Each structure stands twice: as structure tokens, then as C-alpha cells.
Amino acid sequence: MIRIAIAGAGAITERAHIPALRGVADAQIVALQSRTADKAEYVARALWPDDAGRPKTYSNFDDMLARERPDAVGIFTPNHLHCEFTVKALGAGAHVLVEKPMAPTAAQARKMVDTAAKAGRVLMVAMQRRFGGIERAIKDALASGAIGTPNFIRARLSHGGPQAWAPGQKWFTTASEAGGGAMLDLGVHVADLAIWFMGEIDSVSGQVATLAKQIEVDDTGAMVVHFKSGAIGVVDASWSSMPPLSAIEIYGSEGRVMAGYPRNDISILKSDGNPAPGFSREEVISRFDPRDFLAPSRALAENFIAAIQGRAKPSPDGIDGLRAVEAIEACYRSSRTGSRINLPLDS
């Protein structure tokens, strides 16, 4: 049994990570920490109405580590704590699953990767969209050559902002705690998907702005990326667009992918306009339940436990998380300077 301690008791922990981890047979949540003891206790009692099996609650992360000595730690805190808590957990011998973005800066992300390597522990990043049914189908289609050589991607994600998802959690729009706005919060998801589908990025040109909200961080951003393969792409994110949109377009030498127009709709077509064999809309949709919104988080949790046990490779791992953060940081740098930014970033 993998004993897991969790740092952070916000909306994503309560609605996704705890239910997902509780669904993994070899995992047991033994502790829950939040900046206020009352919040940790409230979430623990809400999700474990009976006393049996309810995790212990803490307000201090160091105390939780020292007293519980967990096998693994889930770090689902405000962004500015990700690096500090990850390094401490790895130093205590625990494996780590950290919420995206893995850190506000590439330098911090790199420190986390290096620490995990030295400790010989699993470091995974909670970019669960890799486990979505639509996204998996796209990955399979690209790997099979269904649309030939991919040469362009547009990956986009938008909604009305964190106020709707996590009301009262003001850290999302506080620069010192979040490190960035929509481009870091949402853009990192689609940047990761773009890299997963198309390979590494070698340069970025981007713009971010605060256009619709009175907040300290950006609510809108877009970047043009160039991949090592020679392909190009556009990644955009917004906290100022409703209804929500999560969409991917990929154009290849022998066809194209369009997904998300509307949600959970997909077409993978050959150049002649016919569905790619094995990837018709009906065949793709039959492989997953579009009503099961927790499925990607469960698959992420299962992969984390399997990776700890040596049964699977961690995905997304720390290097994946670092590459996504580097792309977003390059976008911010490009927006400030008006220059195209080469990757990897200088240390």
C-alpha cells in the first residue's frame, strides 16, 4: 500500500485529486494539509463522513512530512509553493505528484527535476489532459501515421477564469502566489499537449495581456511556436471567454485532426475527406465515456501509483513539466521584449 500525504485542500484537490487517488486500489491517503487547519479538517470530513479511514489533518507541511513519513506526496497548493514543497518531499524520500504548472519558472522546475533524479524518486506533473479520451485518440492517430507527417497544430483552452472554478481562491490572480495568469494556468496544459503530439519546441514568440478583468496577471495569451521537426503551431489560452472551449487542430501531409468543436467531438480525416481507418468519430467516442469527467484524473493517479511500483513510466514526468513551463516562460519573455525566444532557456 502506497501511503500518500496531500498538501493543498482547494477545489482541484477536493473535486479531482482525492476522489481519483481514492479510486486506486494500492493507494491510501493518510494526511491532508492546508494553510489553515480548519480548511483541511472541513475537506477531510466532507470526503470522509465516517471517522474510519479519515486522514489526519495538518496546517504545517513540515510537520506532516515528519510525523507521517509518507511514501508519496501530492502537492496541490498555490503555484509559488510547488518547488519548495516538492524539494522537501523528495528530500524526505517521498515520490511526488505536483499540480500544474509544476513551478512558476523554468529555473524552479529544473531544480525539482534535478532533485528527483538525485533522490531516485518519481516526479509526475498533474497535466491529466494526456489521459483524456479525445487526446489519447489523437496521439494514437499520429503514432499510426493516420494523417501523415504533422506540420501544424493549434491548441487552445479557455473559460471564464478561476473565480467560477474556485471561488474565493484569490491566489490565482495574485502575481506573487500564482506567477502568471491564464497563459500559465491554462496555456501550460495545451503547451504540454502540443509538445506531446508534435515533439520539442525550439523557439517561441508570444503575447499576453490583461484585457477583460481587473487582476494582477494576464487573462489572455497566445504564442506561435516552432518545433525541432520544422512544424509550427499556435497555443492560446484565455480566462475571459465563455462558454468554455478546449480544442485541437492538427494538419498533416495526408489529412487533418479537428477536435473540440463542440466538446468531445472529433474528426480525423484523410486528404480525400474520408475518416482515417480506425479513427472515425464513432470508433473514437466508443473508446471512452464522455460523461465521465473524472476519468483523466483517475488514469493520472493510476499511472502515478504504477510508476512508483515500477509497473509504468511516469507521464507526464518532470521533464515534460519542465518543457511546458519553459514554453510558457518564453511566451512571457517574448511578450515583454518583443523578441523571439529560443529554447531551452538559459539557466
What's the confidence (pLDDT) of residue 280? 96
- In this prediction, residue 347 has a pLDDT band, given cuts at 50, 70 and 90, of low
The tens digit of pLDDT for each residue in 239-276 reads 999 999 999 999 999 999 999 999 889 999 999 999 99
Estimate to the nearest angstrom the gap between the alpha carbon of 5 and the chain centroid: 20
Q: Any idea where the domains of the chain sit in the sequence?
A: 2-128+298-315, 129-289+324-342
Query: How is residue 49 written as a grid cell?
Result: 463522513
Q: What is the DSSP letter of 135?
A: H
Distance, CA of 82 to CA of 230 (rounded, Å): 33
Residue 309's CB is within 10 A of a number of other CB atoms, namely 11
Residue 229's CB is within 10 A of a number of other CB atoms, namely 14
What's the confidence (pLDDT) of residue 165? 76
- In this prediction, residue 291 has a pLDDT band, given cuts at 50, 70 and 90, of confident
Picking from 208, 226, 204, the residue whose alpha carbon sits closest to that of residue 218 is 208
Distance, CA of 86 to CA of 10 (rounded, Å): 18
User: Does residue 208 contact residue 129 with C-beta atoms inside 8 Å?
Assistant: no
What's the confidence (pLDDT) of residue 163? 84
Picking from 163, 219, 156, the residue whose alpha carbon sits closest to that of residue 187 is 156
- Please check the confidence at residue 51 and state whether its pLDDT lies above 90: no
Distance, CA of 242 to CA of 225 (rounded, Å): 25
Amino acid at 293: F
What's the confidence (pLDDT) of residue 128? 97
- Please check the confidence at residue 34 and state whether its pLDDT lies above 70: yes
Distance, CA of 317 to CA of 315 (rounded, Å): 5
- In this prediction, residue 182 has a pLDDT band, given cuts at 50, 70 and 90, of very high
What's the confidence (pLDDT) of residue 21? 98
Distance, CA of 309 to CA of 293 (rounded, Å): 26
What's the confidence (pLDDT) of residue 290? 86
What's the confidence (pLDDT) of residue 24? 96
Bridge partners, 270 (sequence order): 255
**What angle, rounded to 10 degrees, do the helices at 187-198 and 318-337 form?**
120
The tens digit of pLDDT for each residue in 185-207 reads 999 999 999 999 999 999 999 99
2-128+298-315 folds as: Rossmann fold (3.40.50)
The tens digit of pLDDT for each residue in 85-134 reads 999 999 999 999 999 999 999 999 999 999 999 999 999 999 999 999 99
What's the confidence (pLDDT) of residue 169? 86
What's the confidence (pLDDT) of residue 244? 94
Amino acid at 80: H
| Residues 148-184 as b or e (16 or more Cβ within 10 Å = b) | eebbebbbbbbbbbbeebbeebebbbbeebbbbbbbb
Task: Kindly calculate the radius of gyration of the chain based on its CA atoms and give it in whole angstroms.
Answer: 20
Average pLDDT, the chain: 96
Query: How is residue 60 written as a grid cell?
Result: 504545517
- In this prediction, residue 52 has a pLDDT band, given cuts at 50, 70 and 90, of confident
129-289+324-342 folds as: Dihydrodipicolinate Reductase; domain 2 (3.30.360)
The pTM is what? Answer: 0.96
Residue 290's CB is within 10 A of a number of other CB atoms, namely 13
The tens digit of pLDDT for each residue in 133-154 reads 999 999 999 999 999 999 999 9
Query: How is residue 249 written as a grid cell?
Result: 487542430
